[in-house]
Amino acid sequence: MPQWFSSLSELSRLSILVKLLRQEDLELLGALPVLHSLELAVVPSGTTDDSLVVGADQPFRSLAKFHFDHYTRCWIVFSQGVMPKLQRLELYIPARKREGGGFDTGLENLASLKHVTVTVDCEGAQIREVENVETMVRGAIGMHPNHPTLELSRQREYKMATDEDKDDTEGSKE
């Protein structure tokens, strides 16, 4: 993300698609003083750190709505005290990339959270993987002190792997 973004001190709404997302980019965006709504997506062929932390360096003080799409293996974690006004969180989770990865995102640190929308991408995932991700999401939301509402949906179920696909993959390894 270009450094001149930091000069956009009056920017209140941003929707951006990037090829590369780094920790420094979150720091730059989080420092924008009146940013109220952020839609942040990384292109499917994009790259990023495996895990991004929204911490004290980028508090997002005015953010009320945050939508995060990442089609690869990136994960985002919220530290205590960040996004103090965030009420609406929207996440896109590729089930195949999250399997076994847990759902420790620090949602409990989002003190004003009221509504969470999670879209689980089923492409290439077994039904078990999709259901495990959904269970982790429900568990994290259920433990949030505000008990935010959860809207959970699936995307691209028609591209979900079948048991036959798994057998074909295992057979080709021999």
- What is the span of the domain harbouring residue 29? 1-86
- Say if residue 107 is in the same domain as residue 43: no
Together in a domain, 169 and 119: yes
Residues 59 and 118 in one domain: no
Query: Are residues 98 and 78 both part of a single domain?
Result: no
Choosing from 53, 68, 86, the residue where a domain stops is 86
Nearest to 114, CA basis, from 69, 70, 60, 151: 151
Give the range among 40-44, 47-51, 144-148 with minimum mean pLDDT: 47-51
Task: Specify whether 67 is located in the same domain as 51.
Answer: yes
Output the pLDDT for position 52: 75
HEC sequence for 24-43: HHHHHHHCCCCCCEEEEEEE
Cα–Cα–Cα angle for 167, 169, 170, rounded to 5 degrees = 65
> Whole-model pTM?
0.84
Quote the number of domains for the chain. Answer: 2
pLDDT for 116:
96
Residue 119's pLDDT is 93
pLDDT at 95: 83
Identify the pLDDT of residue 174: 46
